[in-house]
Chain A
Amino acid sequence: MPRLIRMDQAGHTTLAEWTAGEEHAVQRALSAFREELDRGYIAVVSHQDGTAELVRELPLDAPLVIMRRPIAGG
């Protein structure tokens, strides 16, 4: 089942889970996704081959979408 998670002080928090066709769950996931983007989080899809992709729209077919905070030079 695809998941939207946010990395936070709890380690990570699952914000939404959905399956294709579950309109209500998908809408909840889209809403949570937009909310996190508005809070300044950045969405990343991690691929099995060890690469990652930045996304601005929730990819409903991705197994795991991770919301991370911005980084900055230390």
Chain B
Amino acid sequence: MHAALTSESAEGLPELASVHWRPRVDARLLARRGRVWTAWSLAHPVPFTAIGVALVALRPVLAPISIALFVQAWIIPELYANRGAKVLQQRRRAGDDAERTALLLLGDLLDTSARELHADTGLAVQPGALGVWLVGEAGAVLVAPGGRRTFCYCVRVTGEALPSSDLIAHLLLALRADEAGFATVANLTFSGARWRVRRRMAADTRPALDAAVRIVRDR
């Protein structure tokens, strides 16, 4: 496995200019965002559940409404987690020349274990200073130190369509050049427990998340 990205980039990503109002992400800001997401995730189910319980307690005949409230309490956090997992959703990889050419370059960028993981799951793993990243075609998931929390980022390559491996290589190079800048440019779509994201991921991509967790726990 390649060495983790440990130092601040000498030069930030040029893309930061397009999001100049955003504070540059660091470990402290990430932790704070994680706490906000936890509070947000509780803010939805707790009132619905409380009202549902109160309704049944006061008027058992209102049980159907309580059930609807319980469903609501369950479904909203699930939708958020689903949005997070979607950042790693993949197109079907075309077997054309362009894809093969792009795959050669991506293979050169990855070490043996990361290359094998990409072949199996379509995702590239990259250790960083903020945690361990899983990079897909249109986003990345950061597994925070400890391996229990994830941050899901939606980020795209501008311009016309590119082969799948090229999209990953673009994001990987940007991430390697400036990890904090990458996390600043990308849009955070979800942060929460790893298991919530994992169960929403396609089955063939879950081993990549498991591998990222192993790496982050071994550090």
Contact = CB atoms under 8 A, between A and B. Distances in A.
Nearest to B109: A46
Interface residues of B, number: 52
Interface string A33-74: 000000000101010011111100000000010101111111
Interface residues of A, number: 25
Nearest to B104: A11
Contacts of B109: 46
Interface in B107-131: 108-109, 111, 126
A11 B174 contact: no
A72 to B, nearest CB: 6
A49 B166 CA distance: 20
B179 to A, nearest CB: 10
B214 interface: no
A66 to B, nearest CB: 6
Interface of A: 5, 7-12, 42, 44, 46, 49-54, 64, 66, 68-74
Interface of B: 2-3, 5, 9-11, 13-15, 18-19, 87, 97-105, 108-109, 111, 126, 138-139, 153-163, 165-166, 169-171, 173-174, 176-178, 182, 185-187
16 contacts: A9-B160, A10-B98, A10-B101, A46-B108, A49-B3, A50-B5, A54-B13, A64-B108, A68-B157, A69-B157, A70-B15, A71-B170, A73-B187, A74-B156, A74-B186, A74-B187
